Amino acid sequence: MLVTVITPFFNEELVVREFHKRLSKVTESIRDHNFEFVFVNDGSTDDTLGILRELQRKDKRIKVIDFSRNFGHQAAIFSGIRNAAGDAAVIIDGDLQDPPELIAEMIKKWEDGNDVVFAKRIKRKGETLFKKSTACMYYALMKLLSDTPIPRDVGDFRLIDRKVIAELKGINESNLFIRGIIPWIGFTQKEVEYERDERYAGSTKYSFIKMLNLGLDGITSFSIKPLRFALRVGLLCISIGLGLAVYAIVNKYFNPGIVIRGWPSLMITVIFFGGVQLFTIGLLGEYIAKIYKETKRRPLYIIREKIGFKNGRCLDELPKRKT
């Protein structure tokens, strides 16, 4: 059987060779399966593409997809999925934080009949306390809000069966959150645990802003609970406002000697309710922005070049978009 390994790269010239070396060692030790490597160059500005070309000339298992510019990590993974020819595909980042050696265990779980085998991090080496704590809060928030159960401390590192790949190819969303889409698809899912290593070299390409945007995509793509929360907060504010109005009227007619003083309380009330309004408007704006992106129907990515594919052609069959 053929297993596809999908890896996105963005400015990883210091890591690519070592990643390929370790990946090759692992896959060569697995005798029962053949492998192909789909490496996606996500608009790198360093020598990542040049190194990928060099490796592809030496290793014909490698297929390279070169984007016209940087379209993002999720788009790069999705391109790899659409071009996976294997009976199963392993999604793994190229920074060596996720160990390629775990692939052998994933394949065993797949052979046992599991359609999805995801890697759960039990320890994160080399990450700051801030990143660990925000990740913990994020997964707790996703558990509370998401309509689809998303495994805790699980990234995109996983193995997916051909039937899952087929369903993913039919997904036609502009705002991708693959670690949420795969649990939503369903099928039999199994976890393997591992300790996440530090980066082999270089620096993370996921800035705080990118992580925040990915988190917002995850929440707004898989739950409408924030909108319902905004509605409830609005109703609560209306109730408070009505209660204060009744209180003021009662005091005016039944306790005329009591003077309701103070611009501070008035300002606090105005600022509080103004903040609530801005929050709910911003929340609505997030959902409307997603609708706006979906209606434009732009492609998720643009491929500049394909290397190592038969006749220079990808398997990529982008769904036809209705006009």
pLDDT tens column, 155-202: 788 898 998 888 888 777 777 777 778 888 888 888 888 777 665 555
In the predicted structure, residue 207 carries a pLDDT above the cut 60 = no
Answer yes or no: are the C-beta atoms of 248 and 260 closer than 8 Å: yes
In terms of average pLDDT, the best of 52-56, 194-198, 315-319 is 52-56
Q: Tell me what pLDDT residue 317 has.
A: 46
Q: Tell me what pLDDT residue 216 has.
A: 63
Q: Tell me what pLDDT residue 316 has.
A: 58
Q: 235 in helix, strand or coil?
A: helix
Q: 93 in helix, strand or coil?
A: coil
Beta carbons within 8 Å of 171's beta carbon, 6+ residues apart:
78, 181
Q: Tell me what pLDDT residue 323 has.
A: 39
Q: Tell me what pLDDT residue 248 has.
A: 66
Q: Tell me what pLDDT residue 122 has.
A: 79
Confidence of residue 36 (pLDDT cuts 50, 70, 90): very high
Q: Measured between alpha carbons, how far is 144 from 261 in angstroms, rounded to an integer?
A: 42
Structure tokens at 25: 């060692």
Q: Tell me what pLDDT residue 284 has.
A: 72
Structure tokens at 21: 């070396």
Answer yes or no: are the C-beta atoms of 182 and 169 closer than 8 Å: no
Burial classification of residue 98, based on how many CB atoms lie within 10 Å of its CB (0-12 exposed, 13-18 middle, 19 or more buried) = buried
Q: Measured between alpha carbons, how far is 295 from 251 in angstroms, rounded to an integer?
A: 54
Distance between start and end Cα atoms, the chain: 40
Q: What letter does residue 311 receive in the DSSP assignment?
A: G
Better-predicted residue by pLDDT, 50 or 238? 50
Pairing state between β 303-307 and 189-196:
unpaired
Amino acid at 122: I
Q: Measured between alpha carbons, how far is 303 from 316 in angstroms, rounded to an integer?
A: 10
Answer yes or no: are the C-beta atoms of 84 and 168 closer than 8 Å: no
C-alpha torsion sign, points 284, 290, 291, 296: positive
Q: Measured between alpha carbons, how far is 89 from 238 in angstroms, rounded to an integer?
A: 52
By C-alpha distance, which of 7, 101, 85, 12 is closest to 48? 12
In the predicted structure, residue 291 carries a pLDDT above the cut 90 = no
Q: Tell me what pLDDT residue 89 has.
A: 92
pLDDT digits (tens, 9 = 90+) for 216-230: 665 666 666 666 666
By C-alpha distance, which of 190, 180, 113, 99 is closest to 147? 180
E strand or H helix at 284, and its extent? Answer: helix 263-296
User: For the chain, what is the mean pLDDT?
Assistant: 76
E strand or H helix at 67, and its extent? Answer: strand 62-67
